[in-house]
Amino acid sequence: MRIARYVPYLVGAAVAATFPLFSGAYLEQVAGATLIYLTLALSWDMLLRSGQLGFGTAGFFGLGSYAAVLLFLNVGVQPFVSIIFGGIVAGVVALLLGLAVLRLRGMYFAITTLALAGIFAVVLRNFPSLTGGAEGKMLPSCIFSGDTANVYWLILVVAVMTIVISEVFERTRIHVALTSIRNDERVAKSSGVNVFKYLVFVFAVTSAIQGIAGGVYAHVFGFVSPEGSFSANFLLLPLAMALLGGIHSTWGPVIGALVLGALSEYLKLQIPYGHLLVYGAIIVVVILFLPQGLSGAARAWRGRSHAARGAR
């Protein structure tokens, strides 16, 4: 019976790993984009598990993009190295920012992170000789010369890595620490949890993940720009995905990403302009009516049907 539990995961992993073998370039692109958003949604949720609401995903994503591209163009390292560098830069900036800002939580932290995308964009724009200013920078070629299958596998690796890190956060002492901080900081503090250290740590790690996603994206599309790399899409979609799928878990954001990733393609064809409105509406509706998301609703429904079966 134990093996039966793992079957869905194994099937899912098999499908994911072999996806390019039975799909064309268009589907691979959609899947790739979905997996990028999945990475962002999951990393956002990981911070949320500590009780902190961060709006910085687009900011660190763009920062990672620029860091990767600038290192690649100016120092000539391998694309993979530059992507890791993008993650490191994002992580370090988050670390420094977190040390400064995480002593005040709640709306102060939320709004500070909300401002990040704009601030990073402005700062980068102010060094046009290095960053290309408002025009941004183009890469001589895209990674893998644009081969969508290889691109897909690269993004898949990043997504899987993020899922693994998220599970580590769920199954080790980190889970107990973050949940205790989220539920009641005073109790956590009085029980020996170094709250500040954990918050800064989680903020830095999740921002680094977002930076890596940004680095990958930059190499896949071959350019960075203040408008494009810091687009609000990279904040709006991940949040909608995580909320819809169910926060505070690994598989909630994954499900949300898969559902909305597929949906977004459909929406883009139906409502070319302003289809993003749907995501804003999803956020509002989920907060008001479905705070546990789809996975939470499924869990509740399963619990209720179990209880009913037991009563019989």
Partner 1 sequence: MAVLRTESLERRFGGLVAVHDLTFELAENEILGIIGPNGAGKTTAINVISGLYMPTTGRIFLGEDEITYAPPHVRCHMGIGRTFQLVHPLVDLTARENIMVGALFGRNQRLRQARKTAEEIAAKLDLEGIDRSVSDLTVLEIKKLEIGRALASNPKVLFLDEVMAGLNSDETKAALDAVRRIRDQGVAICVVEHVMSVIRDLTDRVVVLDGGTIIAEGPYSKVSADPRVIAAYLGEEE
Partner 2 sequence: MRLLRRLRRGQVLLLLVSLGVLVLMMLWKPYALIEGLQRGGLYALIALPMALILGVVGIINLAHGEFMMLGAYFAYWLGVYTGLDPLVAMIPALVAFALLGAATYLLTIRRALKAPELNQLLLTFGVAMVGAEFANLMWTSQPLKPHLSYVYSSMTLGKLRFGAYAFVYTVSAIVLLVLLSLFLRRTRLGRAALAVGQNPRGAKLVGIDINRTYLAIFSLSIALVGAIGAMFLTRNSVFPSAGSPYTMKSFCLIALAGIGNLPSVVWGGFGLGIAEALVLSFRGYGGWADVVFFAVLVAVILGRSYRRQTA
- Coil, helix or strand for 48? helix
Alpha carbon distances (Å) from 104 to 159, 182, 207: 31, 14, 18
Is the torsion defined by CA of 287, 275, 257, 202 positive or negative? negative
Binders of partner 1 among 151-210, rule CB under 8 A? 172-173, 176-177, 179-180, 182-184, 186-195
> Cα torsion for 61, 67, 68, 70, to the nearest 10°?
140
Q: Is residue 105 part of the contact set for partner 1 (CB under 8 A)?
A: no
The DSSP code sequence of 172-213 is: SHHHHHHHHHHH-HHHHHHTT--HHHHHHHHHHHHHHHHHHH
Nearer to partner 1, 188 or 257 (CB): 188
Using CB under 8 A as the binding rule, whether residue 99 contacts partner 1 is answered as no
Least Å distance, CB 80 to partner 2, is 32
Closer residue to partner 2 in complex, CB, 148/295: 295
- Residue 263 CB, shortest distance to partner 1, in Å, is 29
Q: Does 2 bind partner 1 (CB under 8 A)?
A: no
Contact 196, 102 (CB under 8 A): yes
Cα–Cα distance, 103 to 52 (Å, whole number): 11
Closest to partner 1 by CB, 206 or 249: 249
- 11-25 CB burial, b ≥16 within 10 A, e <16: eeeeeeeebbeebee
Q: Give yes or no for residue 295 binding partner 1 (CB under 8 A).
A: no
Binding site for partner 2 (CB under 8 A): 51, 53, 55, 97, 100-101, 103-104, 106-108, 110-112, 114-115, 118-119, 122-123, 125-126, 232, 236, 239, 243, 271, 273-274, 276-277, 279-284, 287-288, 291
Least distance CB 114 / partner 1 (angstroms)? 26
Please give the residue ranges that form the binding site for partner 1 (CB under 8 A): 172-173, 176-177, 179-180, 182-184, 186-195, 248
